[in-house]
């Protein structure tokens, strides 16, 4: 089978899930989840993986849950929000050994929008230190500043500052002191659901955005390796 697009029912399912975020409703509509969302996502991932790997040969595009598809079930153990399901679906294409720690590209499907982006979303001490050294160094740090400025000018949101103070070991008046407070670095843009969403052209639509984000991805993979 080939990817032929998502459907109006894909969005209707997400919209209705938001209004009926309960296990009985989900189980009664599980066939819709699997046919209109999950199975179509698997086809999309297989399809978009081809041009993605042409651009970045080592990117992982794995068409399964806990591969490039995040689970729709929410982990409510440590959350005040006890609703059992996410009302969106996240797709992740990463480059590196660690699925959640490596830089990657992503698509988030919501009932009324599509978000595309690239960057990192989790970190650990070793990667965080390499990120800070890359930001602090004149050549690589200036390059990151330029990349983020270009993406912001193109309508991308930039994140994400995780600390209130410049970390120990770096001057408080460092020219990139704001970036040194970042915990992770990513850029993303949400747009209304495009007409391409309903056909095979959605692959090209996403790749056009990934191409804009590829220089940021390249910066992160080279600094964090």
pLDDT, tens digit (0-9, with 9 covering 90-100), for 62-92: 999 999 999 999 987 777 888 999 999 999 9
pLDDT at 81: 82
pLDDT score of 113: 98
Report pLDDT for 64: 97
Tell which residue, 116, 59, 133, 134, has the closest CA to residue 93: 59
**pLDDT over 80 at 16, yes or no:** yes
pLDDT of the residue at 78: 75
Distance of CA 21 to the CA centre of its chain: 23
Q: How many other C-beta atoms can be found within 10 angstroms of the C-beta atom of residue 173?
A: 7
Cβ(4)–Cβ(203) below 8 Å: no
Q: How many CA atoms lie within 13 A of 206 on its CB side?
A: 31
What are the domain boundaries of the chain?
8-224
So what's the pLDDT on residue 9?
Answer: 96
- Higher-scoring residue by pLDDT: 161, 98: 98
Mean pLDDT, to the nearest integer, of 41-54? 98
| CA nearest to 186, candidates 78, 92, 105 | 105
Distance between CA atoms of residues 205 and 210, nearest Å? 9
Work out the average pLDDT over 10-29: 97
Coil/strand/helix, residue 9: helix
Q: What is the mean pLDDT of the chain?
A: 96
Q: Where are the beta strands (DSSP E) in 47-146?
A: 89-94, 104-109, 113-119
Token digits of residue 162: 């995780």
């Amino acid at each position: 089978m080939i990817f032929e697009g998502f459907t109006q029912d894909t969005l209707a399912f997400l919209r209705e899930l938001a209004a009926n975020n309960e296990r009985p409703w989900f189980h009664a509509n599980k066939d819709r989840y699997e046919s209109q969302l999950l199975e179509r996502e698997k086809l999309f991932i297989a399809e978009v993986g081809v041009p993605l790997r042409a651009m970045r040969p080592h990117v992982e595009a794995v068409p399964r849950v806990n591969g490039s598809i995040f689970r729709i079930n929410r982990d409510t153990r440590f959350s005040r929000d006890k609703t059992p399901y996410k009302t969106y679906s996240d797709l992740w294409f990463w480059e590196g050994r660690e699925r959640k720690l490596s830089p990657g590209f992503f698509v988030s499907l919501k009932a009324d929008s599509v978000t595309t982006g690239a960057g990192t979303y989790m970190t650990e001490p070793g990667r965080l230190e390499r990120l800070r050294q890359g930001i602090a160094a004149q050549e690589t740090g200036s390059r990151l500043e330029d990349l983020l400025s270009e993406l912001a000018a193109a309508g991308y949101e930039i994140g994400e500052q995780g600390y209130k103070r410049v970390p120990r070991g770096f001057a408080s008046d460092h020219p990139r002191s704001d970036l040194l407070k970042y915990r992770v670095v990513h850029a993303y843009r949400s747009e209304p659901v495009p007409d391409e969403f309903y056909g095979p052209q959605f692959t090209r639509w996403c790749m056009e955005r990934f191409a804009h984000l590829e220089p940021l991805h390249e910066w992160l993979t080279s600094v964090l390796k």
